[in-house]
């Protein structure tokens, strides 16, 4: 679940300006990312923690139905899905703010068929894309409603009229963070860096925001590399309102990766929306 950079000018973040690696259209304002997207030892574990699964099959199936020529994967991470989307006849762009994640993505089979961009949705501009996706609960990294609205605006501009936007977000009614304690998440794994023990702890959950820490202890040295993160849990109605205000019509909200109906107890909300001809 890659964290996306903040492009809202005037916000009080510790930021620096750098050039794009693969394009020169704009400057991009870089925001500090969580360690699991920048520390090489943790980046190497990303695919272990986020293996190919039913979510991958959902987005591949959706793309097959839409038959898009141009696809945008925002927050593409290490590019597992992005590379699979890059079939012959498609132009696929994977965008992510983490240079370390993109380095992994480029080396994957099919990585040479994708254009990789370092940045976020604001890097794309008006591209007349047929399909834009945000996977891995990327939508939850936008803690502020202004950030979220700005991202939807960039996606609106990137898509052609009638273009499809698909993404998922955890359902706050399921209260998944209550299973993010040490007792439920503790485990040991063997890695190229030696044996590790790992677990999560929730620091605070209030006003739709969950603050948590993921511990990564390298047993040989005892070193702990804690990763502190925050996620926003928006309700279905909040996401619907934001999409409609951003110029999108919602076709479906699924409650699982098998396209089952959304219910209050669903763990995930999977949105499929289409860009209107004009924004509100």
The Cα 125–Cα 25 span in angstroms is 9
Q: How confident is the model at residue 272 (pLDDT cuts 50, 70, 90)?
A: very high
Query: What per-residue confidence (pLDDT) applies to 142?
Result: 95
Is pLDDT above 50 for 107?
A: yes
Of all residues in the chain, what percent carry a pLDDT higher than 70? 88
Confidence of residue 31 (pLDDT cuts 50, 70, 90): low
The whole-number pLDDT of residue 279 equals 60
What interhelical angle do 145-158 and 236-245 show, nearest 10?
50
Q: Model-level pTM? A: 0.87
Return the minimum-mean-pLDDT range out of 4-18, 51-65, 101-115, 176-190.
4-18
pLDDT of residue 99 exceeding 70, the answer is: yes
pLDDT over 70 (residue 1): no
Average pLDDT over residues 121-136: 94
Residue-level pLDDT at 8: 25
């Amino acid at each position: 679940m890659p964290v996306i950079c903040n492009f809202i000018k005037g916000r009080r973040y510790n930021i620096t300006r750098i050039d794009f690696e693969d394009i020169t259209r704009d400057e991009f304002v870089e925001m500090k990312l969580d360690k699991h997207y920048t520390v090489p030892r943790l980046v190497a574990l990303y695919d272990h923690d986020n293996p190919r699964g039913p979510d991958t099959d959902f987005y591949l199936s959706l793309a097959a139905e839409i038959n898009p020529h141009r696809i945008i994967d925002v927050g593409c991470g290490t590019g597992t899905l992005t590379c699979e989307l890059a079939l012959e006849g498609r132009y696929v762009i994977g965008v992510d703010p983490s240079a370390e994640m993109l380095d992994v993505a480029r080396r994957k089979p099919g990585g040479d068929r994708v254009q990789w961009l370092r940045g976020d949705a604001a890097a794309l501009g008006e591209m007349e894309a047929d399909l834009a996706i945000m996977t891995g609960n990327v939508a939850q990294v936008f803690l502020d409603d202004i950030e979220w609205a700005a991202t939807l605006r960039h996606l609106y501009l990137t898509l052609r009229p009638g273009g499809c936007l698909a993404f998922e977000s955890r359902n706050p009614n399921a209260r998944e963070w209550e299973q993010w304690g040490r007792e439920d998440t503790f485990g040991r794994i063997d890695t190229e860096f030696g044996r590790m023990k790992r677990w999560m702890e929730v620091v605070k959950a209030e006003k739709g925001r969950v603050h948590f820490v993921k511990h990564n202890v390298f047993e040989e040295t005892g070193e702990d590399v804690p990763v502190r993160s925050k996620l926003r849990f928006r309700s279905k109605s909040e996401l619907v309102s934001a999409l409609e205000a951003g110029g999108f019509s919602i076709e479906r909200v699924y409650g699982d990766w098998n396209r089952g109906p959304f219910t209050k107890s669903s763990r995930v909300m999977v949105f499929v929306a289409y860009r209107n001809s004009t924004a509100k």
